[in-house]
Structure 1
Amino acid sequence: MKAVILAAGYGTRLQRDVAADSTGKFAHLSGTAKPLLPVGRCALISHWVRALTASDCVDRIYVVVSNGTSSTNAVYLAAFEEWASHFTNVEILSDRTTSNDGRLGAVACLQLAVKHFEVEDHVLIIGGDTLFKEDFSLSKVKERFSDLQAKSEDSCLVLSYQCDEQDTRKYGILEVDGDLRVLCMKEKPLPTETKSRRACPCFYVFSKKSLPLLDTFLEEKKEAPIDEKDAPGNFVSWLIPSFFTFREPVYIHQISGRFDVGNLPSYIECDLYFREKLQDAGSYMV
C-alpha cells in the first residue's frame, strides 16, 4: 500500500488569523504550510510519517504540495523538501500552483500523484491538516481493509465519527446500512435532511481497482467549479454505488473524533492537546 498526503492547500484562513493576531505570539507561523505547523514536539505531518512507518501500513509516502506564493513569502515547496530530507520513505511532488485561486483541487492532486509515481497499489489518502484522537489506529484500519478485500477486491474504506447535530452543515455526512456499508454521502446537509450524524474526515483507503475511476470522475467534472473537484469527499460520494450506477462498495471504520486545523483557534487547541494531554506519543496512531 502507498500513502498520499494531500498538502497543497494555502491555509488562507489560518494565515489571515495569524496576520490579524495583535499579540504577535503566533507570528512565527506566518508563511508556514499547515502540515508543517509545529504540533507538540514535531510538525503536524511528522506525526503521520512516524505512525505510518511504525505501523508498517505503507511502503512509500507521497506528499503533494504547492509551490507557494511569492506575495506572502510562503515558499512551501522548499520548506517541504527540507522537511522530507529527514526521512527515507517520503517523496515530495509539487502541483506547480502558486496561488489559492489557481489550485488544482484535492482530487486532481491525488490523480497527479498516482500518475507521476505510477501507483498500481492500494492507496491511503490523508488530509495534511488532520490528526485523530488517541483511539485511532492505523493497524486496525489495515486489518479492517484487509478483511474487506478478502470479501471483495473492489472494497474501499473511509472513517466515520459522530458529530453534533448543529455540525452536519460543516461536514460530509455518511448514511450506512447494518453492515456499515455506505449508502450515500451528503455534503454539509441540514440536520433535518438526514438522520445520520456520521461525519467523514479526509482519510480514505482506495482499492487499486478504484484508481482508474479518478480519470473518469475528473473528466466528468472538467467544466465544473473548483469546489466540486477540491474536496476529496466529492470523489467518495461519486464512488458510492447507487441504484443507477455501480462503481465500488465503500465501508466505514468508526473512530471517536479528530483535530481539523483550519484556523488559529483550532490550531491552538490541537497544539495544546499534543503538548499537555497526549498520553503515549510513542504509540500514537500506530
Structure 2
Amino acid sequence: MRALPGTVPPRPSPAAADVNTGDSVTDESEATGWVFLQSIPTVGAFPCTEHRQAAPERHEYVRLECDLQNDTSGLFSHLVGTPKPLLPIGGMPLVTHWIKAFDQVPEITSVVVVTNDLHKPLYQTWADGLARHMRIVSDGSTSNEERSGAVACMEIGAAGSQEDILFVAGDTLLPSDFSLKTLVSKFKALHDHEKEACLVLSAPVSEKNVSKHGIIEVEERNRVTQFLEKPQPQDTTSRLQCPCVYLMSSESLHHLQNFLEENRNAPLSCRDATGMFIGSLIHRAPVFAHHVTHRYDVGGLQSYLQCCQDFQPS
C-alpha cells in the first residue's frame, strides 16, 4: 500500500470485501478517479430511547428511525433498522441513485463504500445486485461508542489512493437536475489552474433551518471563505448549506491526514462531522463551491415520503 502525500502515514486499511458481479477488479494503482461513499455513521438499530442516549448528535437519523418504529400503519415496519442509504426511494435504494450517476462519468473508475461491521453484510448484499464492482470497507465498529467518526471514515476510504477523490455521504440525495458530469468538469477546470483546488456543493437553506446545517460563506468567485457548523441565523448572512459532496484533488489529500493527526486527542465530535474538516481545509487549500438547487434531507418519515414522491419512476 502506498502512503498518501503528507506528513502523516495512513493507518492500515481495515479488511475490505471485494464485491464483484462479473466485472474485473480495478487495479487501484491504475485508477484515475475514486469515489468514496460513506454509509450513515450511526451504528445499529436500537429502541428510540436507548438510541437517543447513545448518540444524541445523530438526532436526524434517530428521528427517522423513531418515526418508522412508531408508525401504526404497518406500512413501514419492514424498513426499521435499515441504514438510511439503503432506504428505497424511486424504486431503488437511495445510494443506488449515486451509482447510476457514477456510471455516466468515465472519470470515475473505482467506488469504495465505508460502513461498519453491523451494516457491512447489508451493503454486500446490496452490491451483489449491481453490475459495477466496488469495495465494501468497514471501520470495524459495532457500536456508537466505537465508531471512528465521519472524517476518519473519509481517510479509510482514501487509504492507498494517489488520485482525485469524490467523497459523498451515503445519505445525501440531490434533485434530478443535478449533473455530476458538470461538477467533475468544473473541478477539472479549477484543478488546471490550482493543483490543490477542491470543490464542494452549496444549496439553499431556509432561515429556520440554518441552525441545522453546516453553512458556508463564499466570495464573488465562489471561493469558500468561511464554514460555520450549525450557526444561529443571526450569526451569518449566508443561506447556503454545504452537503457532504466533496471533490478533493490528490494534491490536497494530505490535509485530511493532517487534520486527523492534529485532532487525534480531541473529542470525537471534532472529527465526527465532515464539515469540521472543510472548515479547516478552506484555510489550507483553495476550496470552491458549486451551487445546486436543492438538497434532500431524509430526516423524518414525512420528508422521506416527500422524497419518494419526488423520485417516483416515470
TM-score exceeds 0.5:
yes
Deviations 1:165-212 (A, max 9, x none): 221101111111111101111111111111111111110101111111
Partner residue of 2:96? 46
Partner residue of 2:16? none
* Distance in 2, Cα, partners of 1:260 & 1:89: 28
Structure 2: tracts of 5 or more residues without a match: 1-32, 43-60
Counterpart pick for 2:111 among 37, 43, 61: 61
Whether the 8 Å contact between 2:40 and 2:169 is mirrored in structure 1 is: no
Deviations 1:69-90 (A, max 9, x none): xxxxxxx211111111223331
More deviation in 176-185 or 257-266? Answer: 257-266
- Is 1:83 the counterpart of 2:126 in the alignment? yes
* Distance in 2, Cα, partners of 1:206 & 1:151: 14
Partner residue of 1:282? none
Structure 2 counterpart of 1:268, one-letter code? L
* Distance in 2, Cα, partners of 1:32 & 1:80: 11
More deviation in 210-219 or 11-20? Answer: 11-20
Deviations 1:108-142 (A, max 9, x none): 00111222xx1110110111111101221001001
Whether the 8 Å contact between 1:129 and 1:262 is mirrored in structure 2 is: no
Counterpart pick for 1:135 among 151, 171, 177: 177
* Distance in 1, Cα, partners of 2:85 & 2:247: 20
Partner residue of 1:3? 35
More deviation in 228-237 or 80-89? Answer: 80-89
Structure 1 counterpart of 2:301, one-letter code? L
* Distance in 2, Cα, partners of 1:183 & 1:236: 11
SS of the residue 2:121 aligns to: helix
Give 4+ residue runs of structure 1 displaced > 3 Å after superposition: none
Whether the 8 Å contact between 2:200 and 2:246 is mirrored in structure 1 is: yes
Partner residue of 1:283? none
Whether the 8 Å contact between 1:106 and 1:232 is mirrored in structure 2 is: yes
Report the Cα offset of residue 8 of structure 1: 4.4
- Is 1:166 the counterpart of 2:208 in the alignment? yes
* Distance in 1, Cα, partners of 2:133 & 2:201: 25
Whether the 8 Å contact between 1:131 and 1:259 is mirrored in structure 2 is: yes
Counterpart pick for 1:20 among 70, 75, 79: 70
Structure 1 counterpart of 2:146, one-letter code? G
Whether the 8 Å contact between 1:57 and 1:139 is mirrored in structure 2 is: no
Structure 2 counterpart of 1:110, one-letter code? M
SS of the residue 2:178 aligns to: coil
Structure 1 counterpart of 2:140, one-letter code? R
Report the Cα offset of residue 145 of structure 1: 0.2
Query: Between the two proteins, what is the percent identity of the paired residues?
Result: 38
SS of the residue 2:226 aligns to: strand
Taking only aligned residues, the RMSD between alpha carbons, in angstroms, comes to 1.4
* Distance in 1, Cα, partners of 2:191 & 2:172: 26
Report the Cα offset of residue 54 of structure 1: 1.7
Partner residue of 1:71? none
Aligned length in residues = 263
* Distance in 1, Cα, partners of 2:147 & 2:66: 18
TM-score, structure 2 as length reference: 0.80
Structure 2 counterpart of 1:191, one-letter code? P
* Distance in 1, Cα, partners of 2:270 & 2:156: 17
Structure 2 counterpart of 1:81, one-letter code? Q
More deviation in 184-193 or 259-268? Answer: 259-268
Partner residue of 1:263? 300
* Distance in 2, Cα, partners of 1:257 & 1:273: 12
Partner residue of 1:253? 290
Counterpart pick for 1:113 among 157, 161, 171: 157
Partner residue of 2:84? 34
Whether the 8 Å contact between 2:40 and 2:85 is mirrored in structure 1 is: no
Structure 2 counterpart of 1:274, one-letter code? F
- Is 1:179 the counterpart of 2:221 in the alignment? yes
